[in-house]
């Protein structure tokens, strides 16, 4: 079972499981706690009605403590397992995992926004985003990332979501990263895994700052937004002896 007190002494495993260093986790934790209290005030029940008894009464939650809650939702976001697997990692049932995923995702989003680390979702705001301008060099990289999803029942959706690259059914999102800070600037809308990277970028219509440098791979061949300096790796044509 995954526990914070165990993982924090294994920095490599901690980073692999959560996508954050221990120091970054500890910086996020107070904002996460505040966001949770804002969204779920102690005087209200889970349904939003006034409590009839003191908070903490009744059955105890399986994710005890702020570290456990934040670890749970970060692991889910980083690895995106089936809910059954997420439940096994934290000693929960699948319905409990489902409950905590839906309860904690908005908390994490609010905490990241409070710290100025939440990626932009509006493509028109990328050019003026503080995440874009941070560092001052305007050097960015774009790529598509795929994650596994449950196989759709509808045959048409099966074909749309089947990724030949991953040999499974996937969803895809575009990521735009500030290469100076390493922070994600923009997270694109979720599309079917079969969608080509360039097509997803064209449909997103991202507004870049003028004279920005954009690193891309061959999946974005021909993607050259106005006012941007694209950089794409070239194959080494030198014949090896």
Read off the pLDDT of residues 26-84 as tens digits, 9 standing for 90 and up: 999 999 999 999 999 876 666 667 666 665 555 555 788 999 999 999 999 988 888 99
92 with 150, same domain?
A: no
**Boundary (domain end) residue, out of 79, 94, 114:** 114
**Phi, psi for residue 193 in degrees, rounded to 5:** -60, -25
Higher-confidence residue: 62 or 102?
102
159 and 68, same structural domain? no
Number of domains composing the chain: 2
Kindly give the residue spans of alpha helices, DSSP state H, lying in the chain. Answer: 4-7, 11-18, 22-39, 66-79, 83-90, 94-114, 130-133, 155-161, 197-204
For position 87, what pLDDT does the model report? Answer: 95
Rounded Cα distance between 47 and 44, Å, is 8
Give the pLDDT confidence score for residue 239 in this predicted structure: 58
Cα angle 23, 29, 35 (rounded to 5 degrees) comes to 150
Domain that holds residue 86: 4-52+60-114
- Going by pLDDT thresholds of 50, 70 and 90, the confidence category of residue 106 is very high
Record the tokens describing residue 231, joined without a space: 């950089």
Together in a domain, 105 and 180: no
My answer on whether 101 and 140 are in the same domain is no
Q: Domain for residue 238, yes or no?
A: no
128 and 102 in a common domain: no
Indicate whether 34 and 106 sit together in one domain: yes
pLDDT at 42: 79
Identify whether 36 is part of a domain. Answer: yes
Asked which of 93, 114, 135 is the last residue of a domain, the reply is: 114
């Amino acid at each position: 079972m995954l526990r914070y007190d165990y993982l924090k002494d294994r920095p490599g495993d901690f980073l692999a499981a959560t996508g954050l260093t221990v120091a970054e986790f500890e910086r996020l934790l107070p904002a996460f706690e505040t966001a949770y209290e804002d969204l779920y005030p102690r005087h209200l029940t889970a349904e939003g009605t006034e409590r009839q008894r003191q908070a903490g009464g009744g059955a105890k939650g399986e994710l005890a403590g702020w570290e456990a809650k934040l670890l749970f939702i970060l692991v889910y976001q980083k690895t995106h397992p089936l809910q059954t697997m997420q439940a096994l990692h934290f000693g929960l049932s699948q319905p409990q995992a489902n409950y905590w995923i839906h309860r904690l995702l908005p908390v994490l989003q609010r905490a990241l926004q409070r710290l100025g680390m939440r990626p932009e979702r509006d493509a028109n705001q990328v050019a003026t985003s503080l995440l874009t301008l941070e560092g001052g060099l305007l050097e960015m990289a774009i790529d598509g990332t795929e994650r596994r999803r449950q196989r759709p029942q509808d045959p048409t959706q099966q074909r749309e979501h089947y990724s030949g690259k991953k040999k499974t059914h996937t969803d895809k999102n575009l990521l735009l990263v500030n290469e100076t800070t390493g922070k994600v600037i923009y997270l694109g809308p979720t599309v079917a895994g079969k969608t080509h990277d360039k097509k997803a970028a064209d449909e997103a219509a991202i507004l870049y700052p003028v004279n920005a440098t954009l690193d891309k791979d061959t999946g974005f061949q021909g993607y050259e937004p106005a006012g941007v300096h694209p950089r794409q790796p070239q194959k080494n044509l030198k014949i090896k002896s």
